[in-house]
Amino acid sequence: MSAANDTVFNSAVFLLTGIPGQEDVHIWISIPFSSMYAISIVGNSVILFIIKTDPSLHEPMYIFLSMLAVSDLGLSISTTPTILGIYLFNSREISLNACFAQLFFIHFLAKIEFSVLLFMAFDRFVAICNPLRYASILTPPRIANMGLVFVVRGVAVASPFPFLLKRFQYCRANVLSHSYCLHQDVMKLACSDITVNTIYGMFTTVFTLGLDSLLIFFSHVMILKTVLSIASHTECLRALNTCFSHICAVLLFYIPDISLAVIHRFGNSSSHLLRILLEYVDLLVLPLISPIVYSVKSRHLRVRIIRAFVK
């Protein structure tokens, strides 16, 4: 290895990257990104406000929806400012500490989102498969304890990322391949052996994304089995309709994340643009679509939102 390649730097900054080759149209790209960010903030805030102020919505399903809205807001606030900073002001520098803080919140909030989707699957499972015990199983104290457990799990899983990265020295090429900081992106710039980081990253993916998706799949299999045993065709369709919005949300969240995991592990240089676009979908589009999906499919929530705006 050459001496130049052995050179390390203790620079206080990383350089973020927009869409490669599109620097001339960054200002135009910022327009839809800014619009999505604004609509996402407003949409999720409206859902939180309606659920908080309407006592009839203080039910487990809507409590879980408010948790999802909070995590969506957190992800938007954690990532979009650096994205817009690049496209609006060509502000690419981010300090190491700010980068490590950002990647912690991104990974932490992503774990929380998967946990909330698991909550919602469990809610539908109990409502359809054991409706007589629904109120006694999903009590407010139990919901609070479940939420606390998954918050602790998210913190425990995401906290090692900054500490594992902080011990490294980084090579001269301090340019990240995204508009925000991710553990798998930052660790590739380290001059040191990143085996521990790679193994831990794979472990957290299996422990969170893999385990949660398996439990969500199992819950929907049980729901489908119960629904198919319902004699009435109308009741069967009504039960399936209550799960449809959640299935859409699960697919919207999991398809980009699974695709990104595959591309990160097995993709080549030609898949870099696809990876960037999928990550923008994951961080910008999903927080925008999620409140729309649930508002459209939940008649009770939709009526409350319309009533709040037409008064």
The mean per-residue pLDDT over the stretch 117-141 comes to 87
Most confident of 39-43, 283-287, 304-308: 39-43
pLDDT grade for 120, boundaries at 50, 70 and 90: confident
- Per the CB < 8 A criterion, the answer to whether 83 and 33 are in contact is yes
CA 59 to chain centre: 23
Domain range summary for the chain, segments of one domain joined by +: 3-123+130-310
pTM for the whole structure? 0.86
The mean per-residue pLDDT over the stretch 92-112 comes to 92
Of 268, 274, 263, 97, give the one whose Cα is nearest residue 186.
97
The mean per-residue pLDDT over the stretch 47-69 comes to 88
Which pLDDT score is estimated for 117? 86
Q: Quick count: other Cβ atoms within 10 Å of Cβ 23?
A: 12
Which of 39-48, 85-94, 206-215, 245-254 shows the lowest per-residue confidence on average (mean pLDDT)?
245-254
- Residue 90 backbone class (left: φ over 0; alpha: ψ -120 to 50; beta: rest): left
pLDDT grade for 214, boundaries at 50, 70 and 90: confident
* Strands (DSSP E) found in the chain: 8-9, 13-15, 93-95, 170-171
Which pLDDT score is estimated for 4? 41
Which of 136-140, 149-153, 257-261, 265-269 shows the lowest per-residue confidence on average (mean pLDDT)?
265-269
The answer to whether residue 238 scores a pLDDT higher than 70 is no
pLDDT grade for 1, boundaries at 50, 70 and 90: very low
SS3 295: helix
Residue 273 C-beta-side C-alpha neighbours within 13 Å: 5
The residue count of the chain comes to: 311
Calpha distance 1→258 (Å, rounded): 35
Which pLDDT score is estimated for 209? 80
Q: What percent of the chain has pLDDT over 70?
A: 85
Of 301, 256, 307, give the one whose Cα is nearest residue 282.
256
Of 41, 9, 54, give the one whose Cα is nearest residue 290.
41
Say which residues have a Cβ less than 8 Å from residue 260's Cβ, sequence separation at least 6: 275, 278, 279, 282
Calpha distance 73→9 (Å, rounded): 35
- Which CB contacts under 8 angstroms, 24+ apart, belong to 201-209? 204/107, 204/111, 204/157, 204/158, 205/261, 207/157, 208/111, 208/114, 208/115, 208/153, 208/157, 209/114, 209/254, 209/257, 209/258, 209/261
Calpha distance 113→282 (Å, rounded): 12
CATH class, domain 3-123+130-310, is: mainly alpha
The answer to whether residue 268 scores a pLDDT higher than 60 is no
